[in-house]
């Protein structure tokens, strides 16, 4: 039975096919736009693949914004309704808002994204000490619960941060405020989003941001892929457990 279960997990992981996106809209706050933005690094990372992938990104970002803020200000909703983006990445800043609001506005945004025939992805951001009421595991649980309810993908950036800090505490993912990302943090987030977006590993991609060594970039690529594989494996195992 254990062999059969493992075989089913492997089959589902291999069989998952992801359509190659051409245009991605990012909705978020400074956790997304710092260090020139995850979106700009994502374009360069995709362009360094073989064959080269030309990816266009758009953004609706504002400092301190939660998904509730974005819903109320309407600009992101108008960008979604245009319907010219294949994927919309929603970044909630969960330490800045409670889980209930996160759930409510994720539901609203995902419904509109699907009406526009786009693919929603939730960007799970990271824990930071200034607002320590919620841990990384609790942030992950909140994303896992809403992902199960809505059948939506998650880019588990917060878990990748946790994994990286454990393995390489010398590689500081934060800037001095211990909240916003350094270039290492932004690059790691970018690699996680790439892995989920394209359904393939960022390991070996040639783009390294200025000021970062190729060895550090390779380490972060591996961390991103390992985290995404572990996240996906757990999701598949849970779904199979429900069936079995």
Task: Read off the pLDDT of residues 139-181 as tens digits, 9 standing for 90 and up.
Answer: 999 999 999 999 999 999 999 999 999 999 999 999 999 999 9
Is the pLDDT reported for residue 9 higher than 60? no
CATH number for the domain that contains residue 165: 3.40.50.1110
Lowest mean pLDDT among 82-96, 101-115, 124-138: 124-138
Mean pLDDT, the chain, as a whole number?
91
- How many C-beta atoms surround the C-beta of residue 19 within 10 A? 10
List Cβ neighbours of 15 (8 Å cut-off, separation of 6 or more).
none
Query: Is position 8 within any domain?
Result: no
Tell me if 2 is assigned to some domain: no
0.75 surpassed by pTM? yes
Residue with tokens 């992801």: 18
Which residues on adjacent β-strands are paired with residue 91? Answer: 123
pLDDT of 44 reads 98
Q: What is the pLDDT confidence band of residue 11, given thresholds at 50, 70 and 90? A: very low
73 assigned to some structural domain = yes
Tally of CB atoms within 10 A around 20: 12
Q: How do residues 34-64 score in pLDDT, each as one tens digit?
A: 999 999 999 999 999 998 999 999 999 999 9
93-123 b/e (C-beta count within 10 Å ≥ 16 → b): bbbbbebebbbebbeebbebbeebebbbbbb
Query: 1 in a domain, yes or no?
Result: no
- Identify the pLDDT of residue 238: 65
* Strand ranges in 99-241 using DSSP code E only, listed in sequence order: 119-124, 153-155
How is the beta sheet containing 56-61 ordered, strand by strand?
A: 56-61, 23-28, 87-92, 119-124, 153-155
- Mean pLDDT of the 88-102 span: 94
Residues spanned by the domain of 118 = 21-243
pLDDT band at 235 (very low <50, low <70, confident <90, very high): confident
Going by C-alpha positions, the residue among 61, 17, 24 that lies closest to residue 43 is 24
Domain count, the chain: 1
C-alpha 40/C-alpha 56 separation (Å) is: 9
Convert the pLDDT of each residue in 13-26 to its tens digit.
444 556 789 999 99
Domain-located, residue 16: no
- Banded pLDDT at 129 (limits 50, 70, 90): confident
Q: Does 5 fall in a domain?
A: no
Q: Is the dihedral of CA 9, 119, 35, 203 positive or negative?
A: positive
């Amino acid at each position: 039975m254990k062999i059969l279960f493992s075989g089913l997990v492997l089959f589902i992981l291999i069989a998952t096919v992801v359509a190659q996106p051409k245009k991605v809209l990012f909705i978020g706050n400074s956790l997304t736009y710092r260090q020139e933005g995850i979106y700009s690094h994502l374009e360069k990372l995709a362009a360094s693949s073989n064959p080269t992938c030309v990816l266009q990104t758009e953004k609706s970002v504002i400092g301190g914004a939660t998904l509730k803020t974005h819903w109320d200000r309407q600009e992101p909703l108008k960008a979604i309704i245009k319907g010219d983006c294949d994927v919309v990445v929603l970044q909630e800043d969960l330490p800045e808002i409670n889980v209930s609001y996160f759930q409510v506005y994720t539901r609203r945004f995902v419904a509109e994204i699907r009406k526009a025939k786009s693919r929603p992805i939730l960007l799970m951001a990271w824990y930071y000490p200034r607002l320590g009421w919620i841990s990384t595991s609790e942030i992950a649980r909140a994303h896992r619960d809403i992902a199960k309810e809505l059948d939506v993908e998650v880019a588990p950036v917060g878990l990748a941060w946790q994994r990286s800090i454990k393995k390489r505490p010398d590689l500081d993912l934060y800037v001095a405020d211990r909240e916003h990302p350094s270039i290492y943090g932004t690059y790691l987030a970018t690699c996680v989003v790439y892995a989920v977006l394209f359904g393939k590993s960022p390991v070996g991609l040639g783009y390294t941001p200025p000021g970062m060594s190729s060895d550090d970039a390779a380490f972060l690529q591996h961390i991103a892929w390992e985290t995404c594989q572990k996240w996906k494996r757990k999701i598949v195992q849970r779904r199979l457990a429900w069936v079995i």
